């Protein structure tokens, strides 16, 4: 019988925070999975693979690594268990596998589970629609801790996608990331990305619209990764009983379009 919330990546920074937040929400924990050889996960039950965890859990929260997404997509769909995905750095193939699983199970997939960032995403789209791309250059600057493995961050890409939606363009067509050397002048309508890595910064994102005569910037700073864990647990409680599909944190917060 399925019972409780399972955590994939339970030994990780987010995984350990999720164990605390599941308890804080008064929800039962079914257990977790991590990489082979990782055994130190505290008192929770350790499953040998994602299939075992999916079959034992009412919902699985997954903060692991992009390399897991295709295997986890198939296992979660086969088990028919709702899935909360916080993992970032997904390739187009990973995203396609996740969308395919969304035909069978409800999934909440968010590059950032903080309520504040999701509000910024909504504002970003509105601002981009109001500020002409030819006059207002959009730049996204992010900083994270030195252990982060992907860049730009999933949240930075989410911000870029929100700006692109507001402008009616596709991000991949206008994205300028990791400028270095003789890059030539900035293209009209480009959405620029810069990533800093250092120390133990939990997550900082600034979206800047720079015109010749004014700058407008919105900054979000996360001081504690608990904000992501609490949001993911909120999504896990929300997703129960939902129809198959891929939902966003905006849907969980009631801000979906």
Q: Which residues would be at the binding site for ligand NAD (CB under 6 A)?
A: 8-9, 11-15, 33-35, 38, 63-65, 68, 86-89, 110-113, 225, 228
What distance lies between CA 101 and its chain's CA centroid? 17
Question: Least distance (Å) from ligand NAD to the CB of residue 19?
Answer: 12
Question: Least distance (Å) from ligand NAD to the CB of residue 130?
Answer: 27
- Are 57 and 72 within 8 A, CB to CB? no
Q: Enumerate the β-bridge partners of residue 194.
A: 141
Question: Least distance (Å) from ligand NAD to the CB of residue 96?
Answer: 18
Question: Least distance (Å) from ligand NAD to the CB of residue 57?
Answer: 14
Q: Which position's Cβ is nearest ligand NAD?
A: 12
Residues with a catalytic annotation lie at: 144, 148
- Are 110 and 227 within 8 A, CB to CB? no
Nearer of residues 14 and 76 to ligand NAD, judged by Cβ: 14
The CA distances from residue 112 to 28, 131, 204, 224, in Å, are 24, 25, 12, 13
Cα gap 86→9, rounded to integer Å: 11
Run of H or E residues at 24: helix 13-24
Nearer of residues 153 and 206 to ligand NAD, judged by Cβ: 153
Nearer of residues 75 and 105 to ligand NAD, judged by Cβ: 75
């Amino acid at each position: 019988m399925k019972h409780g919330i399972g955590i994939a990546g339970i030994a990780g920074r987010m995984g350990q925070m999720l164990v605390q937040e599941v308890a804080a929400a008064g929800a039962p924990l079914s257990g977790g999975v991590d990489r082979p050889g990782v055994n130190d996960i505290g008192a929770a039950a350790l499953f040998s693979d994602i299939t075992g965890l999916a079959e034992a859990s009412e919902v699985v929260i997954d903060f692991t690594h992009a390399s897991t997404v295709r295997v986890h997509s198939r296992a979660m769909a086969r088990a028919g268990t709702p899935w909360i995905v916080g993992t970032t750095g997904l390739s187009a193939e990973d995203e396609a596998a996740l969308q395919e699983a969304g035909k069978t199970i409800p999934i909440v997939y968010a590059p950032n589970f903080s309520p504040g960032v999701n509000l910024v995403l909504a504002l970003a789209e509105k601002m981009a629609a109001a500020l002409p791309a030819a006059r207002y250059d959009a730049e996204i600057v992010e900083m994270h801790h030195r252990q982060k493995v992907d860049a730009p961050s999933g949240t930075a890409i989410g911000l870029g996608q929100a700006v692109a939606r507001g402008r009616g363009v596709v991000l991949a067509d206008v994205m300028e990331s990791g400028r270095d050397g003789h890059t030539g002048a900035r293209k009209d309508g480009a959405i620029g990305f810069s990533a800093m890595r250092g120390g133990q910064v939990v997550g900082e994102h600034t979206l800047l619209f720079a015109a010749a005569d004014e700058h407008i910037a919105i900054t979000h700073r996360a001081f504690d990764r608990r904000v992501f864990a609490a949001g993911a647990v909120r999504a896990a409680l929300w997703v129960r009983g939902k129809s198959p599909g891929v939902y966003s944190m905006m849907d969980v917060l009631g801000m979906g379009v």
